[in-house]
Amino acid sequence: MAQFVYTMHRVGKVVPPKRHILKNISLSFFPGAKIGVLGLNGAGKSTLLRIMAGIDKDIEGEARPQPDIQNRLSAAGTSAQPGTHRA
């Protein structure tokens, strides 16, 4: 079975004053997966993508590319730093 290239486990994002942008998001992607992110205005689509890109690291839960993927991204000079925070 193929290894996931990216995983999120129980990811959440809260902004002051205690507004939940994302709550308890878990997902995984196989190599070559094509994904789409759909939702209403203000649903957290951009926040989700910023977390996946490693831009927003102030999160609850875990969001990270798998180590071999992270190494390839680093070697290519691409930013995708994992964001991890245990509440």
Task: Return the domain boundaries, the chain.
Answer: 6-85
Residue 86: its pLDDT value, please? 47
> Does position 9 have pLDDT exceeding 80, yes or no?
yes
CA separation for the pair 85, 59 (Å, rounded): 6
pLDDT tens-place string over residues 31-80:
888 989 999 999 999 999 999 988 999 999 999 887 766 555 556 555 44
Residue 4: its pLDDT value, please? 87
CA separation for the pair 18, 65 (Å, rounded): 28
**Cα Dmax for the chain:** 43
Instruction: Write the single-letter amino acid at 67.
Output: P
pLDDT (mean) for 9-23? 93
